[in-house]
Copies of this chain bind each other. A is one copy, B any other.
Amino acid sequence: MTQYSVINQRAPRLDAPDKATGRARYVDDLKLPGMLYGAILHSPLPHAKILNIDTSKAERLPGVKAVITAKEGGHIKYGVSPARYDETLFCVDKVRYIGDEVAAVAAVDLASALEALSLIKVDYEELPAVLTIEEALAEGAPILHEEFPRNICAEVHQEFGDVEAAFKECDLIRTDKFINKRQESAALEPHGCVADYDPWGNLTLYTSTQTPHYVMRTVAMVLGIPVGKVRVVKPYVGGGFGSKAEGTPAEMSAALLSKITGKPVKIVYSREEVFLHGRSRHQFIHEMTTGVKKDGTLVALKHSCYLDGGAYTSFGIATVYYAGSMLGGPYKLPNMKYDGYRVYTNKPACGAQRGHGAVAARALFEQQLDIIAEELDIDPIDLRLKNVMSRGDVTCNELNMSSLGMKECIEAVKDGSEWTKKKGKLPKGKGIGMACGFFVSGAGYPIYRSDTYHSTATIKLSEDGGTVNLYTGSAEIGQGSDTVLAMIAAEALGVRLEDVKVHSGDTEYGVDLGAYSSRQTLMSGHAVKEAAEAVRRQVIETVAEELDLDPEDIDIKEARMIFKRPNVDFTPIRQSYIREHRGWMDQPDEPYLTFKEAARLAYLRKGLIVGTGKYKPPKLGGSFKGAAVGTSPAYGCSAEVVEVTVDTETGKVTIDNMTDAHDCGFAINRTSVEGQMEGSLSMGLGEALFEEVKFGPDGKILNPNLSEYKIPTSLDVPDIKTIIVESNEPNGPFGAKEVGEGAIMPTIPAILNAVYDATGARIHELPLVPERVYMAIKKKNNEGK
């Protein structure tokens, strides 16, 4: 650890002062001269033919500058996966959910825009709708998309080993079902953007997004503008969690309205619109059969699941893959069969959310492991330790554990939670549970296969040598990536964190696929490190040339030039620096040559000092169809112990404490690693205990607001003990890998297992609202009678 001077420390967040002082500018703070306000007309019906749209009254309303419908913006099908483009900006022939986009308006103020929406007359012919997986799959069900006559958006069928044969050798086979509910990521900042299309055909789009690059791609495609003429700029973003990982109708509408009107156009979603377009977490219905030997050795897993996808695909193809493939680890499991179906329903489309696709399957599997452990009378921790993989192992579905501190995580939470002292020894109404999880560290394959480089980065020194400007298209969305990348740049170049100025979240800075799949530290970090090394080399070479030294004899550390040979006389450089800077700069009086002096010399000798870096993952993926999805250059893992108190009279669950150990490979910013763990745990807590997007019988969301859709507040979150495990990932910059999502995995099953420990009741449906817990306790008590 001592070999590093910047990374592996606790660094203050670069965005903290702006956020603490209210200076941070979000997209809704942006006002451009002449800016118009846009609003979107949503379908009031879950499924209907559009017979006619009359916009004439809206167009005549004073202050209205443009009204657009499918006529203007319905030509190009788009989506997240080029293999499954099933969306148009506005509905062409029919609407598919309550909220589907029908038209948009730009006006001089928001009130006029909203009034104009009310003046658009749409004639619908209502169609029967399907609102559940069961309805959608029923014989003769109404069809959402003609191309998908069974309402199956995507299906995955995989088998590794021979599951049926393996089951025959098992001593214990256990089958369970599990249902979670649709969950909203509930980022505090709604989606929003300002689009500014100039007379030369350049579109600048300021938007609250996790993925400027993908938004650029989608908007360019839908509007028919060359990608090189679309610039996406991400201001401060108030959270994303997956919901802002793709282009939105707001972005495309604003861009098209700006193109038509020649004015900047702002569209910011209301909270209700966030629920409609926020690409919530899917509802899954799982059935899982696990077979083990009596010593607890895992032998086979059969898993089938159905996803309620809503009306469009979004990230759903990846979701249905992840749901299966992420069970391949972190345990040795030679036989695995997976059948997954994503189903279209007349509800808002679901997409990616923290722990994409893998959370609910993990919840069931880790609960099942506890059930099996109990039946075999093995401590749940011992059962897991018996089966755990370690570095170098490859899963049956060909995921390569290039590093894996799974065992260390389990042992860390076992110690950290005082498991042995507590397990089975807690008073009535209290329970302790544990679980493990693992997740990708960056998707090995990009959404667009032509994105050869997943990240590029540029570093440019200021002419005074004092500021290291880092340019990256990566997206700081509150997770701390700007700080982490600045730390990587500082360490690799040999300067201090405060010397680095980060410019990020702008497609003009080059390719970066953005903040999703826990990819930025590993992938953007690699590119940044390479760029920093390129700059470092130029500075060292200049000094070496100037002092007639071998570059190998020069190092940079903590913004000082280090000479590995004794008695190097650097006064010529200092003298030149002092002469150069007379009257406008500080004059160094340190007994060593500063980086600033050396960097200034490099400027004087060579002009602009610029270094670039890039990253593409090594060849990944297995030999089977669909292997791409789920493969990653690295996998993070975590283990968690949760203690709960359950009020058996009311069913109310209180989380008493949580102990989480996460293998992040190597902690770049220890504070941020812990912050990400805490964030994942609190999000998992909310999903376990009370989050559920509810629908009325007509398919309308009943609780599309943060007063009725509850997310955890600080009062709900207990003391969290975070333990960082470092496994030194060979594919990560300085050994680092993910921490942003993986820690949510064990949270839900650990709570489920702890609630069982407290109550003796197994619950296979989320969320654990008091009513459900109470009924489960009651049922269990009745069974016991």
Residues of A within 8 A of B (CB): 14, 17-18, 21-23, 25, 29, 31-34, 82, 85, 198-200, 202, 217, 220-221, 226-229, 262, 448-450, 452-453, 456, 458, 460, 462-467, 469, 498, 501, 503, 508, 510-511, 579-586, 603-604, 607-608, 610, 612-614
Contacts and interface: CB of A to CB of B under 8 A. Distances in A.
Contacts of A23: 34, 198-199, 262
Contacts of A82: 582-584
A448 B33 contact: no
Contact of A581 (B229, B450, B467): B450
A579 B460 CA distance: 34
Contact of A604 (B34, B452, B582): B452
Contact of A200 (B17, B226, B508, B585): B17
Best-buried of A217, A229, A462 by chain B (most CB within 10 Å) = A462
Nearest to A217: B584
Main secondary structure of the interface of A (DSSP, over half): loop
Contact of A33 (B29, B458, B510): B29
Nearest to A262: B21
Given A21-B262, A448-B584, 16 more contacts: A23-B34, A25-B33, A85-B583, A220-B584, A221-B583, A226-B466, A228-B463, A229-B501, A450-B579, A450-B584, A456-B608, A458-B610, A460-B510, A469-B508, A503-B508, A607-B614
Contacts of A580: 449-450
Contacts of A449: 580
B464 A228 contact: yes
Contacts of A450: 579-582, 584
**Ranked 3 nearest A-B pairs via Cβ:** A228-B467, A17-B199, A228-B462
A226 B458 contact: no
A32 B25 CA distance: 9
10 contacts: A17-B199, A23-B198, A29-B33, A85-B583, A217-B584, A221-B583, A227-B464, A228-B467, A453-B607, A463-B511
A25 B264 CA distance: 12
Nearest to A614: B607
Oligomeric state, in copies: 2
A79 B450 CA distance: 54
A134 to B, nearest CB: 34
Contacts of A220: 584
Best-buried of A604, A610, A614 by chain B (most CB within 10 Å) = A610
A661 to B, nearest CB: 33
Given A199-B18, A607-B453, A608-B458, A226 B34 contact: no
Best-buried of A202, A580, A584 by chain B (most CB within 10 Å) = A584
B22 A34 contact: yes
Contacts of A14: 200
A585 B226 contact: yes
A614 B614 CA distance: 25
Contacts of A202: 501
A699 to B, nearest CB: 31
A456 B607 contact: yes
A465 B34 contact: no
A449 B582 CA distance: 9
A85 B582 CA distance: 13
Nearest to A527: B607
Best-buried of A22, A226, A580, A612 by chain B (most CB within 10 Å) = A226
A227 B460 CA distance: 14
B510 A463 contact: yes
Nearest to A226: B466
A133 B470 CA distance: 53
Contacts of A226: 464, 466-467, 585-586
Contacts of A227: 462-464, 466, 584-585
A602 to B, nearest CB: 11
Contacts of A262: 21, 23
Contacts of A613: 607
A464 B467 CA distance: 30
Best-buried of A503, A608, A610 by chain B (most CB within 10 Å) = A608
A585 B33 CA distance: 32
A187 to B, nearest CB: 20
B198 A18 contact: yes
A440 B336 CA distance: 79
A462 B226 CA distance: 10
Contacts of A453: 603, 607
A449 B604 CA distance: 12
B608 A612 contact: yes
A351 to B, nearest CB: 19
Contacts of A584: 82, 217, 220-221, 227, 448, 450
A199 B227 CA distance: 35
